[in-house]
Structure 1
Amino acid sequence: MVKSGRMESRVLLILCNLAWSPDGRHAMWDSGGVEVLLGLLRRSDFKSESTQDVCVSVLHGLSHGGLRFKGLARAAGAVEVLMQVEKTGSERTKEKVRRIFNMMTETRMEKEDVNWEEVLEDSGSTPCRFGGGKDGLSTNA
């Protein structure tokens, strides 16, 4: 629908909402949505500034997918396209582009509050047992 150019702004608004849900994000990744959206930005013949902003908003929603988005975006040449949009877009659009760049360049290291050495040391002393509780499983299961 985006490629057809019909009702472009309305379709982009729907995609923007979908991009912020995990299922919608996966569906757009699987259907080549990142490449289509970047192609739309590459054309840059938007009827309004708000349409460009919504297109970038969809990409921003899709960027919350971590490594999958990074791979799809790099393969589609996102850096060059988004750099051009950052030069010509509104302040609001520029901010979203910067957020996308941050998502693409950051390396996420989840901080764990688990002391794995302690867990491994203790694991040998408490075996898992089945059949101990009233539901058929012990608390260790």
Structure 2
Amino acid sequence: MGRMSRRTSRPRPQQGSAPAPRPGCPCGRAETYQECCDRFHRGEAAAPTAEALMRSRYAAFVRRDEAYLLRTWHPRMRPARVDFDPGMRWTGLEILGTADGSAFHATGTVTFRASYRGGSLHERSRFERVDGAWVYVDGDFLG
């Protein structure tokens, strides 16, 4: 078992109290969401690399930001809508590898493990630039 599948017990908040805020952005960076992925989600900036787009898309799944996910999907692959599983609770993102995907490339791949309560998703995603902006094309699920 990988370290992403281990469960840790967390203290439960008392009845009526708000859960303690998690430090950092949902994408795994130390910066707050407002300092990290929020600017991409609001359209104030474009993700500069394929990895940054992957991270911002993960954060969009966590936040259920359908508009951002659709906007950053390759036009020829984009679904009509994103069907979020109401029971899905994303718990972490681990970037396992990248190939190309910088400001000097037209394509790139990001291999990652996205954990959720009860399991994880391991994928190698493909990204391309369309009109200068990185977009998600598709991915292969890995064992």
Question: When the two structures are superposed, what TM-score results if normalisation uses the length of structure 1?
Answer: 0.28
User: In proportion to residue count, which structure has more strand?
Assistant: 2
TM (norm. structure 2) is 0.28
